Amino acid sequence: MTSLDQHELTTRSARSTKVQSTKAQWWILVIIACAQLMVVLDSTIMIIALPSAQKALGFSDTERQWVITGYTLAFGGFLLLGGRISDMLGPRRTLMVGVIGFALASALGGAAPDTVVLIAARGLQGLCGALLAPSVLSLLSATFTNPRERARAFGIYASIAIGGSAFGLILGGLLTQYADWRWCLYVNLPIAALVIFGIVTMIPKSVGRSGVRLDVAGVILGCGGLVALVYGLGEAGADGWGSRGVLVPLAVAVVLLACFVVWQSKGPNPLLPLRVLRDRNRSGAYLTILLAMTAMFGTFVSLTYLFQAVDGYSPLRSGIAFLPLMVLNGLASTQLASRLMPYVPTRLLIVPGLLAAAVGVALLTRLTPESAFLTHVLPTEILLGVGLGIAMVPVISTATSNADPGDVGVISAMSTTSQQIGASIGTALLNTIAASAVTSYLASHRGGDAIHATVHGYATASAWAAGILVLGALTAGLLINVHPGRAHAAQTAAGQGDEPAAQPTRVAPLVPAARGEQATATGPRSEV
C-alpha cells in the first residue's frame, strides 16, 4: 500500500469518526432535551389541573397554592447546591440521580391520597429538578464545541425552555379534560424512562472533580435566602405586599442573601464564587434572563386567567390558545437566532428581540371585555414568541460560555436559577399589580362590573410587564458585549474554510474528537 493510499484511508477514517461523533452529539441533545422538558413542563402543567385536584383531594384555597409553590420553592432554592453537586459527582451521574428521583416523586404525586402527600411530592420534584437542570446545561455546553452547532443546540434548548412552559398548559388541559389530573404527574414516567436509557447508552462516563467541596454555610445562607424570597413573593399574591406573611420572609431573605454574599467573598469553598459574577457579560446575561422570565411568566398567568375567567375557554382550549406563541418561538429560536448568532454581535440579537416582545405585551394594555383573540391577543403572541425566541438563544449561551471546569455546574445552575426566580417574581409581582388595579377600578367606578375590572387589572399588569422587558433590553445593551462571529471571520480571512473557528476554553468536550482533531470547547468571544 502506497503512502498516498494510507493517507486517503486515514482521511476517510477521520471523516467517518467525525460523522459518528456528530451523530452522537445530536442524540445526546435529544436525551438532555427530554430531561429539560420534564423540568419545564412541571412549572406549568399542574396549573390547569388544580381545580380537578382540589375537588378530588378536598384541599382549601389556601392550601391550593402550595401545589405550585412547593415545586417552585424547592427548585429555585436548591439550584446552586445542585450545581455544586454536579461539579463534585460529574454531570452524567448527577443527571441520572435527578431523573430517577424526579420520576419517583412524580409517581408519588400521581398516587397521592391526600394534600400533604401531593405537596411533599411536588417539593421532591423541585429538589430533584435542582439536581437535573444544572447537569443538563453542563452537558449541553461541554458536548457542543463548534460555534455553529453550539448555536443550533442552544436554539433548541431555548425553545424548550420557553415553549415548554406553554406546552405544559396545553398538555395539562388535554390530560385533565380527557384522562385524569393525576396523569399530569404520571406523564413524567415514560419521559424519565427514555432519558435513563439514553444516559446509560449514549452519554460518556465522566468523573467529578475531587477538589470541589460543599460550602455548608453557603448552602444554608444561599438556599435559605432564596427559599425565603420565593416564599415571600408567592404569598404576596394572596395576602398583599404589606402583610406580615410577606414582609417577614422578604426581610429574612435580604438578611440571608446579604450574609451569603459576604461569606462567599471570605469562605474557603464558596458555593457561588464571586469571580463568576465579575464577568460583565455573564452577570448581564443572568440579569437579562431574570427580567425576561419575570415578564414572560407574568404574562402567561394573565393570559391563562383571561382565557378561562373572561372568555370562558375550556382547559384544553385555553392551552391551545398558546400554540401560536409556542410555534413562533421555536421557529425564531432554531431558524433565526441560532443561524445569526455565529455572525452577529450578541446584543444586536438580544436587544431587538426583547423590544419586540415588549411591544407585543404592551398591546395587551388595550384589552377590553369585548376584545377578540385574533385582533388583540394573537398579535401579542406573535411578537412575544418571535422576540423571546431571538433573544433567549444568545443570552443563555452567553451566560454559560467560557466556564472554568470547576465552575461549570454553578454557572449552569445560576442560569436556571435566574429563570426560576424570574418566573416566581413575575407570577407574584404582576398578579399583585393586577389585583390592586382591580380593587382601584371598582373603588373609582361605583357600579362597575367585575369583568371590566378584571380586564383592567390584566391590562395594567401588561404595562408593567412591557416595562420590565424594556429594562431587560437596556440591561443587555449596557452589559453584554460579545461577538461570536469574530473568530469565524478571522479564520475565513486566513483561508481555513467556512467552518467557524473553535476558540479554546477550559471546558472539555464529552464527545470524543476524531483522530487528529483538537478536543476543545468554544464559546462566544468577549470584546471587553
Are 102 and 19 in contact by the 8 Å Cβ rule? The answer is: no
Cα–Cα–Cα angle for 37, 38, 41, rounded to 5 degrees: 80
- Do the domain assignments include residue 390? yes
Q: Examine the domain organization and report whether 204 and 286 are in the same domain.
A: yes
Give the per-residue pLDDT at 306. 82
Give the per-residue pLDDT at 161. 65
Domain total in the chain: 2
Q: Which amino acid is at 94?
A: T
Are 320 and 450 in contact by the 8 Å Cβ rule? The answer is: no
Q: Which of 270, 295, 313 is the last residue of a domain?
A: 270
Within 10 Å of residue 404's Cβ, how many Cβ atoms?
A: 14
Length of the chain: 528
- Do the domain assignments include residue 474? yes
Q: Examine the domain organization and report whether 254 and 315 are in the same domain.
A: no
How far apart CA 410 and CA 416 sit, in angstroms, is 10
Q: Examine the domain organization and report whether 220 and 314 are in the same domain.
A: no
Mean per-residue pLDDT for 368-374?
86
Q: Which amino acid is at 4?
A: L
Say yes or no to pLDDT of 505 above 50. Answer: no
Q: Mind listing the pLDDT tens digit for each residue in 46-75?
A: 877 777 887 889 876 556 667 777 787 788
Min mean pLDDT across 35-44, 132-141, 413-422, 479-488 is at 479-488
Q: Is the dihedral of CA 359, 365, 370, 373 positive or negative?
A: positive
Q: Examine the domain organization and report whether 440 and 334 are in the same domain.
A: yes
Q: Examine the domain organization and report whether 335 and 481 are in the same domain.
A: yes
Which residues make Cβ contacts (< 8 Å) with residue 6, sequence separation at least 6?
none
Q: Is 446 helix (H, G, I), strand (E, B) or coil?
A: coil
CA distances from 197 to 96, 158, 328 (A): 10, 24, 31
Q: Examine the domain organization and report whether 57 and 74 are in the same domain.
A: yes
- Do the domain assignments include residue 518? no
CA distances from 487 to 208, 280, 482 (A): 31, 20, 11
CATH code (residue 284)? 1.20.1250.20
Residue 24 CB-density burial (10 A; 0-12 exposed, 13-18 middle, 19+ buried): middle
Are 46 and 65 in contact by the 8 Å Cβ rule? The answer is: no
Closest CA to 398 of 282, 307, 507: 282
- Do the domain assignments include residue 119? yes
Q: Examine the domain organization and report whether 223 and 318 are in the same domain.
A: no
Q: Examine the domain organization and report whether 221 and 292 are in the same domain.
A: no
Q: Examine the domain organization and report whether 449 and 459 are in the same domain.
A: yes
Within 10 Å of residue 201's Cβ, how many Cβ atoms?
A: 9
pTM: 0.74
Q: Mind listing the pLDDT tens digit for each residue in 110-130?
A: 999 998 999 899 999 999 998
Say yes or no to pLDDT of 495 above 50. Answer: no
Which domain covers residue 349, as residue numbers? 24-214+271-493
Q: Is 482 helix (H, G, I), strand (E, B) or coil?
A: strand
Q: How far out from the chain centre does Cα 262 lie?
A: 27
Say yes or no to pLDDT of 490 above 80. Answer: no
Q: Examine the domain organization and report whether 379 and 241 are in the same domain.
A: no
Q: How far out from the chain centre does Cα 125 lie?
A: 16
- Do the domain assignments include residue 479? yes
- Do the domain assignments include residue 84? yes
Give the chain's mean pLDDT. Answer: 78
- Percent of the chain at pLDDT > 70 equals 81
Say yes or no to pLDDT of 138 above 50. Answer: yes
- Do the domain assignments include residue 89? yes
How far apart CA 424 and CA 79 sit, in angstroms, is 14
Q: Mind listing the pLDDT tens digit for each residue in 177-216?
A: 888 889 999 999 999 999 999 888 888 776 666 666 777 7
Q: Examine the domain organization and report whether 346 and 262 are in the same domain.
A: no
Q: Which amino acid is at 272?
A: L
Q: Which of 244, 270, 296 is the last residue of a domain?
A: 270
Q: Examine the domain organization and report whether 389 and 476 are in the same domain.
A: yes
- Do the domain assignments include residue 16? no
Closest CA to 15 of 371, 517, 398, 450: 517
Q: How far out from the chain centre does Cα 206 lie?
A: 25
Q: Which of 236, 255, 270 is the last residue of a domain?
A: 270
Say yes or no to pLDDT of 483 above 50. Answer: yes
Give the per-residue pLDDT at 445. 75
Q: Is the dihedral of CA 497, 499, 505, 510 positive or negative?
A: negative
